[in-house]
């Protein structure tokens, strides 16, 4: 635990929406869409590449569990973006491993083709 980290367990434990082994899920405080969650390692580690195999497995299982819960609660959800920013140049602003699970709905953007490719303007549509 690092006192200055907004994603360390002691800081987020009151916001936990779900948990599985070495990871927890919280709703994103600045959601891209309704139902946007973050899957966060309980252990303080920088990013996906420093996560253990167990943490990665727990994260994928929790993402799957949350996906089913979101689909059950909101029939308008028709897809998901799953994203991980690793490093400052990739847009990571909090250096504690976390994965974004972003529910998508038909018509939430004009043309969703390209999905995560949209992180670089002009590269989304191909």
Q: Taking the mean position of all CA atoms in its chain, how far away is CA 79?
A: 14
pLDDT by 10s per residue, the chain, length 126: 788 999 999 999 999 999 999 999 999 999 999 999 999 999 999 999 999 999 999 999 999 999 999 999 999 999 999 999 999 999 999 999 999 999 999 999 998 988 998 888 888 777
Task: For the chain, give percent helix, strand, coil, nearest 5.
Answer: 30, 25, 45
Q: Domains plus CATH for the chain?
A: 9-119 (3.30.428.10)
């Amino acid at each position: 635990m690092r006192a200055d980290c907004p994603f360390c367990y002691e800081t987020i434990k009151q916001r936990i929406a779900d948990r599985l082994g070495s990871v927890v899920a919280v709703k994103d405080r600045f959601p891209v869409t309704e139902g946007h969650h973050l899957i966060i390692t309980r252990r303080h580690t920088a990013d996906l590449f420093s996560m253990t195999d167990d943490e990665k497995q727990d994260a994928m299982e929790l993402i799957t569990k949350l996906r089913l819960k979101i689909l059950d609660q909101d029939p308008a959800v028709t897809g998901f973006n799953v994203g991980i920013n690793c490093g400052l140049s990739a847009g990571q602003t909090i250096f504690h491993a976390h994965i974004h699970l972003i529910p998508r709905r038909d018509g939430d953007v004009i043309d969703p083709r390209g999905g995560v490719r949209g992180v670089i303007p002009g590269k989304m549509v191909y």
